[in-house]
Amino acid sequence: MQTLPSLMIRPGRVTKEYLGGQRQKFVPPFRLYLLTSFVFFLLLFAFGDSHGWFDLRYGTPSMDISIDEETGEITVDPGSVAQDPSNASLPPGGEAMEENAGSIDGPDAADSAVETRADDTEENQEAPWLREDGRVNRDRIDTSVCTGESADDEWCLGLKHFVNRVADAYENQGMFFANIQNWAPRLALGFTPVLILLLIILYPFYRRIYVYDHVITALHVQSWMYILLGIGLIFFWFGQNWFAFLLFGLPPIYFYRTFRVVYSSGRILSFLRTGLVLFGLTTALMILMLILAVLGVVNTSPVAGYVS
């Protein structure tokens, strides 16, 4: 019971005493890290569920998908997307193609078809990115991403494919956030080696300070961060945003005091190292969030086959 109060209000003291041999009265660092991270992500996902982040439905108002929890049956309400069942099997622009096919005859058919495709391309380039039903205009993607001579290059085709997957994620926001929910705890583990590496770089020649000491320090600091973020989420939940943002100003103070206590470093060096660590962790956070977004997009696919 001494671990959490000391960890929260006495920066570095738990780490110092644990490294000094007083380990019986404290929760093992790795177990503490797992416990606090589990509670934080539990609160985060509960907060997301309360705000509808992880609902398996489309992000557009004209299309709803519901899943029966007992049978697993998917019910789709397509709204205005499939008002005319006769056109359900036609690709985008299929109606215009049928009309053109019926009206074009004779030796000028090929030239007229080319002109029609050119007119369709110009029209697609001027069309909005979103259709009236709220879905992404895929024709606009095909005519706006990598046009010209490079349109058939492999990297260009790959870019078009990725942009279409981004469109899938927009139209299937529930599945996108479900992928975020799946990958976030795994990628969060990447902060531990990043923080350990930063501590090794910042304290390279300290006597009787080994990699093990940096590992324990990193685990305790991250456990404290998870507790702080969990408390902040609770205040966000109850609408006390001002206090939640106030809590986020505590990490610089905590890091500074931890370096002073654990490593017995001077005020100026501790201040500089605090800034470097926070900069490194912020950079790592942005990189991990970018990777998380890419993984969420890549793993998102339409629930119903005709959606995309």
What is the DSSP code string of 246-275? HHTTSHHHHHHHHHHHHS---HHHHHHHHH
Asked, for residue 163, whether it belongs to a domain, the answer is no
Structural domain ending residue among the three candidates 151, 184, 205: 151
Q: Are residues 283 and 234 in the same domain?
A: yes
Q: Are residues 115 and 202 in the same domain?
A: no
For the segment 253-258, the average pLDDT, to the nearest whole number, is 94
How far does the chain reach from its first CA to its final CA, in angstroms? 54
Q: Are residues 187 and 47 in the same domain?
A: yes
For the segment 64-74, the average pLDDT, to the nearest whole number, is 56
* Cβ contacts of 25 within 8 Å, gap of 6 or more: 2, 3
Q: In the predicted model, is pLDDT for residue 91 greater than 50?
A: no
Q: Give the model's pLDDT for residue 33.
A: 95
Sign of CA dihedral 76, 169, 301, 148: positive
Q: If pLDDT is split at 50, 70 and 90, which confidence band does 141 have?
A: confident
Q: Are residues 34 and 71 in the same domain?
A: no
Q: If pLDDT is split at 50, 70 and 90, which confidence band does 71 have?
A: low
* Host domain of residue 113: 64-80+89-151
216 within 8 A of 18, measured Cβ to Cβ: yes
Asked, for residue 160, whether it belongs to a domain, the answer is no
> 239: alpha, beta or left, given left = phi > 0 and alpha = psi -120 to 50?
left
Pair of tokens at residue 174: 């529930």
Q: Are residues 104 and 186 in the same domain?
A: no
Q: Are residues 49 and 70 in the same domain?
A: no
Asked, for residue 255, whether it belongs to a domain, the answer is yes
Task: Give me the number of domains the chain comprises.
Answer: 2
**Which has the closest alpha carbon to 142: 132, 153, 151?**
151
Q: Are residues 105 and 121 in the same domain?
A: yes
Q: In the predicted model, is pLDDT for residue 276 greater than 50?
A: yes
Q: Are residues 180 and 248 in the same domain?
A: yes
Q: What percent of the chain has pLDDT over 90?
A: 31
Burial class (CB in 10 A: 0-12, 13-18, 19+), 164: middle
Q: Give the model's pLDDT for residue 60.
A: 44
Q: Are residues 9 and 138 in the same domain?
A: no
Provide the mean pLDDT of the chain: 76
Q: Give the model's pLDDT for residue 74.
A: 54
Q: Which residue has the higher pLDDT, 308 or 191?
A: 191
